[in-house]
A and B are shown apart, each in its own frame.
Chain A
Amino acid sequence: MQFDNNNKGIFLSLDWMTIGLYLILIVWGWFSVCGACYDYGNPDLLSFNLNSGRQFVWILTSIVLASALLLIEKRFYYKASTPIYIMMMLILVITIFIAPDTKGSRSWIPIGPIKLQPAEFAKFAVALAIGKFMERYGFNMSNMREFLKLTIMIILPMLLIIAQKETGTALVYLALFLVLYREGMTGSILFAAMAFVVFFIVGIKFGGESMANMPVSVGEFWVLLLAFLCITFLVWRYGHDKKAAANIIVYGGTANLLAFLFSAYVIPFNICIVMLFVNIAAIIYIAVLYAYAHSYNYLLIILFASLATATYYGQDYVFHNVLRKHQRGRIEVLLGMDKDVTGKGYNVHQAKIAIGSGGFAGKGFLNGTQTKLKYVPEQDTDFIFCTVGEEEGFLGSAGVLLVYLVFILRLLILAERQPDTWGRVYGYSVVSIFLFHLTINVGMVLGIAPVIGIPLPFFSYGGSSLWGFTILLFVFLRMDAERNLKQM
């Protein structure tokens, strides 16, 4: 080991900007936790009876942990990444069986006076493992077998965490597909995933609404129209056949337009029947193209087109039979379909009141009333951003978002400057995980993302998540510090 020789150089080449941002975020986060759990009549914020006091200890231990991690060399992780991954998966499996039931979740393992959540530590293990997998000589993303193996490495911990009834934490692993995208996964997968989310939302939200003067479901109309446009785009972009794309848009578009005009001005009828036939015709047309060109892409386009067209007809089943009742409720609240502010919509409604009442400059430190008085549930964990919004107003909450943006963009730069694929993949994993947490957590508090219980890194109270994010970040910072050393 070159442990001692390198330490001075490592210290100099550490990215102090990121460390500075990290410190800003954890200190800011601690003040927010103070605001959220401040107890009237117990002004001692460092008291162990309060989450603020406990979080203070978590922060101190995190800093110790971070310093220790900076001493461990990059090549240690390289060697250990596979054992770490396997060990983490085993711990996740064991957790399912030994964790006691905590509010319906079986993910917390009590160790002495504290409780740890292994799912929070698994992220860094998965990031290390996929990096090492892609580092292998001759790895090629477009090789279907390799891609499937990678997918399994990501899906496995997800399934184990879902088995612990922590669906929210499991969804974070989806962020790693952003890393795969950077490493060469076709963008069409992200495109298709996004398209299906849009179809699903449009279908659910507007499925029951009827268009003016026409016996046509608004949701069905838009899903079929979007599917038609997507098919055209994919044929143009990935089929590389501009003439075929033109044929689809001209003939199909004309048919749809005629149907629309006929329905609007002559006899109203359900034009979705025509649109459905147009999409099916387009699929048959692409099948014919495949017969001539034998392009693998055409098969994928056919698969997408069929699923997209079928989405609307299948989603009712998914929505009512696959999703659980509380998950369905969250989606209904998010889409504004359920306006019951005392029931399922209570959290989001109260969060909006808390943030909205903060105004421009906020009510001041420890002066927030909504968050402190428990109107907002989970105020010091998942809904911590409400406290920032209420006590620090627009200035503070926009400030947190901007610091986060700088932090993420800085990590992106660090990831790009890694000398090897492994380092870059790990770096992008860190970026993607932070971005996913920020997007979902803040989005949920602002009422524009579904209520998925995941923490806001460095802000939400919780030792496991703070340690988990600290490990994730500082392993990367050590790797980055070694970027100028000779390759291992």
Chain B
Amino acid sequence: MKNYELERRQYVIGGLAVAVVIGYILRLAALQLLPNDYEQIAETNALYNRIIYPSRGSIYDRKGRLLVYNQPAYDVMVTMREVSDLDTTDLCHTLHISRQKFEERMAMIKDTKKNPGYSSYSQQLFMPQISAADFQVFQEKMFRFNGFSIRERTTRQYSYPYAAHVLGDVGEVSQNDINTDSYYRAGDYIGKLGVEQSYEKWLRGQKGVEVLLRDSRGKIQGKYHDGADDVKPQPGNDITLTLDIELQALGERLMQGKRGSIVAIEPRTGEVLCMVSAPSYNPQDLLGKQRGARIMQMINNPSRPMYNRAVSGTYPPGSTFKTSQALTFMQEGIIDPNNTFYPCNGGFHYKNQKLGCHAHPSPLSLKPAIATSCNGYFCWGLVNMFGNRSKYSSVQDAMTRWKDYMVSMGFGYKLGIDLPGEARGMIPNADYYDKHLGRWNALTVKSISIGQGEVTLTPLQIANLGATIANRGYYITPHVVKSIEGGAIADSLKRKHHTMVNSNYYNEVVSGMRMAVTSGTCKSAQNPWYEVCGKTGTAQNRGHDHSVFMGFAPRNNPQIAVAVYVENGGYGATFGVPIGALIMEQYIRGELSPASKAQAAAISNRNVN
């Protein structure tokens, strides 16, 4: 009973099967063999790179004392999917937050607009950095808070409440940081201010990564390739500062209740021994939950405690600047250190111009002029230089020459210290006066010779002037980092910069500065142990003059150069000289004599408003 007509239909059915399989194989080829991005999509789907944070490098002072180190901190995490039977009141009580704050925080975590990586299956940050005490309590109760857990991180800890401006701190990266360096991801930490910022690349180390498999719900399922693709984190490098933390501590105590700055430099090396900017703050205060609020508070404080006056503040240097003028005039042959005498009868008088000075013998030569800080002498010097048409074709020409000297001494440009936020100060040039004054001459601008007028320097530049004089004609770029574990500081920080003035002229100025201590304006810096050289300054400032001191010691083979700037502190001798003397004593002798201790305490307790 075979029906051959119907038997042929087996080929239709068989053909159908062949057609389906061939069609599907072609479709498979299209999906799997043609170029496509399925593989990449699959990887981003399934591979999760968990970042392992390296420990940040520690920071030491020049004597190896630990200043900054890491300490574990505890973040409270929440996995929404696992939250159940929560005793909210108990949780809020344990973490010291209000019920309302709790609700707000939970809503914020779940809001995928504000928290784009949200998944109810993965841990989300509920509350950062709870205190160790809170952690203890929380840990005991944690089994009752289903879905809540603790993530350990490290935070910075400070051994001393000093040097906040030099150390800087660590905070969460900004969008700008992320845009400029692809190393950072949202939520990473980065050095902000101070050496934490300028040595960020050394301190941070290298992040490690753990490649994990993540399922479609964001839950981690295990390690990819058994960890073969993982990268171990590289811990950050420790750095040693040039600061002496004891000296820094003394400086900060002396500056209590005042505004201003102290900078001390080891002249031979350019190492910054202390750098005080007052008012200051305790770096420890910026840790933990209160960081944001504290920073806002400081930003709104009119005396600007976060502002590093030592490198960012620009001030008229006052009479400390006269030393640089003396050097310039000598090198240019305008004055002879021993044979040039200028008159000063209560100041500088020429035609109808007058610039006051205090009482001292007149006429006088260079050394007594420095020792007594005579305004008239230096005004005459500048007038003679700028008016010397046999040497300079015009006042502009002379001014340009003058400016070159100033720049060679490290003024008018950044010195290049390894700290962020350095200001350049101001050294006017001929163009500047052409533009602002139109017609001008030496008489118009004479106040620049006594460190007033348009001239401004940073306290660091003033200290560097002291170091240059101590070195008799050169300086090393000042810097705050002495060494880096497993690395070296930049060559630019070791470079020797010679000024345009011969060293023998420096000896004249040194003698003048020594005379200021023995018989001039800095008498209170005199001590029986070593020879101090100094120069006071009283920078005019609408009735509230700034008290300035620049000096170094010992006279021969100097160990320390120091600049003190006390805003509105009055005469240089009032605050500048005693503070400078105490700093030098502490550094050179390693301790203060009992009398000095008493003096230091007295200065600490004096407020300047």
Binding site for B on A (CB under 8 A): 39-41, 178, 181-184, 350, 352-360, 369-370, 372-375, 389-390, 393-394, 397-398, 401-402, 404-405, 408-409, 412, 415-416, 421, 428, 431-432, 435, 438-439, 442-443, 446, 448
Contact = CB atoms under 8 A, between A and B. Distances in A.
Nearest to B46: A369
B528 interface: no
Given A41-B222, A181-B9, A357-B39, A401 B32 contact: no
A178 B25 CA distance: 23
A369 B45 contact: yes
Contact of B46 (A178, A183, A375): A375
Given A370-B42, A373-B221, A393-B32, A182 B214 contact: no
B213 A178 contact: no
B17 A405 contact: yes
B13 A412 contact: yes
A439 B41 CA distance: 27
Contacts of A397: 28, 32
A355 B32 contact: yes
The 10 lowest CB-CB distance pairs between A and B, nearest first, are A356-B38, A40-B222, A357-B42, A369-B46, A373-B215, A394-B32, A405-B21, A357-B38, A40-B221, A357-B39
Contacts of A375: 45-46, 215-216
Contacts of A389: 28, 31-32
Contacts of B29: 394, 398
Given A355-B28, A404-B21, A435-B17, A369 B33 contact: no
A392 B520 CA distance: 93
Most A Cβ at <10 Å: residue of B6, B10, B214: B10
A386 B41 CA distance: 15
B112 to A, nearest CB: 13
Nearest to A184: B6
B500 interface: no
Interface string B242-253: 000000000000
Interface residues of A, dominant DSSP: helix
B122 to A, nearest CB: 14
Contacts of B3: 184
B116 to A, nearest CB: 15
Given A182-B13, A446-B24, A448-B27, A416 B45 contact: no
B353 interface: no
Contacts of A412: 10, 13-14, 17
B6 to A, nearest CB: 6
Contacts of B222: 40-41
A183 B9 CA distance: 9
Given A373-B216, A409-B14, A359 B32 contact: yes
B215 to A, nearest CB: 4
Contact of B38 (A353, A404, A439, A448): A353
Interface string B205-221: 00000000111110001
Contacts of A369: 42-43, 45-47, 213, 224
Contacts of A442: 24
Nearest to A412: B14
14 contacts: A39-B221, A184-B6, A356-B32, A369-B43, A369-B47, A370-B42, A373-B214, A373-B216, A394-B28, A397-B28, A402-B21, A421-B1, A435-B13, A446-B31
Contacts of B9: 181-182
Contacts of A359: 32-33, 39
A335 to B, nearest CB: 16
A415 B39 CA distance: 43
Contacts of A408: 17
Contacts of B17: 405, 408-409, 412, 431, 435
B16 interface: yes
Nearest to B31: A356
B20 A178 contact: no
